[in-house]
């Protein structure tokens, strides 16, 4: 008999993956963590039954939450990652020799422990010498930071449970204060395909626009995320993601990436008309 994993994206839509084995299941202090070995997408981690990461398409999300900001900031030295327990975001960051210090604040130690055991290719940088890993609440972490980080990457879950506080005005204000004078913030901003997700995305974008002089939205195709189509906010105090983009500067790093490239960087900010209209109108 076939075993299938299904995630409901709406009351009328599900995504299903055929499962070979159920490798891990436990309840942390914050959420239920499972690992399934799927036939098509390799190992899959779920949090409270929702997709967090798969081996097959993880590179899309991790490329796109890291490299656009790194391509724009002229000299980032200190970077903060909030969330990101699978380790993929810091894996991409440590590839930049100019970064001197990375703080990673993940509330749930079990997520990191499980990633180390079942997702070694993703979690490989969790023990890197530049990565300082703290099992703490990212909201509380930001309360006393001032002029401290060049880039902040909010690699959060959806705004329920442990991730709820990472979408508030107070939290974004604290992030703004924690950034240096030319700092950049990037956060995942849900999908425009389904209204219940995009309500969160629009709200987040409106809040950031009230604080940052530059806020743009960019996109990526992630098959196992709701709608298969995901957005990110790029919020900056000084540097514009297109006007200040120099492809040759990023190319000099010589990084081999599976999804991001300098042509895609420019295209990622070219949103479909219906998405632009929704952001302009502020409604789904």
In this predicted structure, what is the pLDDT of residue 156?
Answer: 83
11 classed as catalytic: no
- 108: number of CA atoms within 13 Å, CB side? 24
Homologous superfamily of the 3-52 domain (CATH)? Spermidine synthase, tetramerisation domain (2.30.140.10)
In this predicted structure, what is the pLDDT of residue 164?
Answer: 67
- pLDDT tens for each residue of 39-70: 999 999 999 999 999 999 999 999 999 999 99
The pairing of beta strand 149-155 with beta strand 179-188: parallel
Query: CATH 2.30.140.10 residue ranges in the chain?
Result: 3-52
- pLDDT tens for each residue of 64-102: 999 999 999 999 999 999 999 999 999 999 999 999 999
- 54 within 8 A of 43, measured Cβ to Cβ: yes
The pairing of beta strand 3-10 with beta strand 13-27: antiparallel
Q: Which residues contact 268 (CB under 8 A, 6 or more apart)?
A: 64, 68, 218, 219, 220
Which of 34, 86, 155, 158 is catalytic? The answer is 155
| pTM attached to this predicted model | 0.96
CATH of domain 58-281: 3.40.50.150
Query: CATH 3.40.50.150 residue ranges in the chain?
Result: 58-281
- 152 within 8 A of 78, measured Cβ to Cβ: no
């Amino acid at each position: 008999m076939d075993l299938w994993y299904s995630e409901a994206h709406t009351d009328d839509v599900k995504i299903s993956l055929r499962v070979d084995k159920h490798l891990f299941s436990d309840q942390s202090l914050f959420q239920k963590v499972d690992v399934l070995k799927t036939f098509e997408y390799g190992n899959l981690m779920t949090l409270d039954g929702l997709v967090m990461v798969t081996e097959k398409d993880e590179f899309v999300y991790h490329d796109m939450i890291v490299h656009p900001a790194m391509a724009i900031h002229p000299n980032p030295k200190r970077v903060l990652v909030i969330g990101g327990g699978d380790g993929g975001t810091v894996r991409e960051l440590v590839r930049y020799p100019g970064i001197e210090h990375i703080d990673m604040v993940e509330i749930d130690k079990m997520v990191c422990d499980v990633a180390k055991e079942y997702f070694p290719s993703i979690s490989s940088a969790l023990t890197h010498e530049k990565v300082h890993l703290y099992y703490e609440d990212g909201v509380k972490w930001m309360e006393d930071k001032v002029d401290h980080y060049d880039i902040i990457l909010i690699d959060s879950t959806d705004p329920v449970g442990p991730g709820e506080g990472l979408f508030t005005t107070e939290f974004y204000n604290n992030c703004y204060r924690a950034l240096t004078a030319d700092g950049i913030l990037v956060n995942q901003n849900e999908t425009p395909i389904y209204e219940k997700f995009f309500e969160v995305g629009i709200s987040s974008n409106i809040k950031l626009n009230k604080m940052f002089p530059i806020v743009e939205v960019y996109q990526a195709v992630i098959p196992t995320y709701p709608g298969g189509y995901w957005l990110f906010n790029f919020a900056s105090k000084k540097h514009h993601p297109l006007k200040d983009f120099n492809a040759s500067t990023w190319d000099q790093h010589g990084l081999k990436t599976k999804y991001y490239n300098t042509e895609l960087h420019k295209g990622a900010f070219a949103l479909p008309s219906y998405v632009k209209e929704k952001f302009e109108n502020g409604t789904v």
